[in-house]
Structure 1
Amino acid sequence: MYYENYHLGINIIWWALWAILLIWILGIPYNTSRRHKRHTASYILQKRYVSGDITKSEYYDKQKILIEDGELKKT
């Protein structure tokens, strides 16, 4: 009687859940903003300054170049 289309409804829900799961797994594998931040020139410059590879004056000189090139906003 009322159970004729029961399997159709379950099938649609089942496939919708699989589609959502697949989109979630493939669509959100990485935090893109964090990954992008690691490869910017300003981030690398900051890491070199903090680790002591460059002096304070070298840091500010290179930061000024980045600001002039438009890669870094002046703060």
Structure 2
Amino acid sequence: MFLLRDRSVFDIKKNELSEFRSNLMGKIKGKNTKLEKSVSKALWNNGFRFRKNVLSLYGKPDIAIKNSK
């Protein structure tokens, strides 16, 4: 019975931790950061044509130059 009680307490803490982590990670936005905007603007002005956050490529890269593979 002692093990069962400890396991239930552990499960409650684990659920609270995962909920906290989920809320924390939900606040992190990964698209259109300052760095990404400045790099993409510099690339575009130098003649490199690209796509942003391409879903068809593995890992969904921030910047993908489709002409070169």
- TM-score under structure 1 length normalisation: 0.44
Q: Higher strand proportion, which one?
A: 2
Q: Higher helix proportion, which one?
A: 1
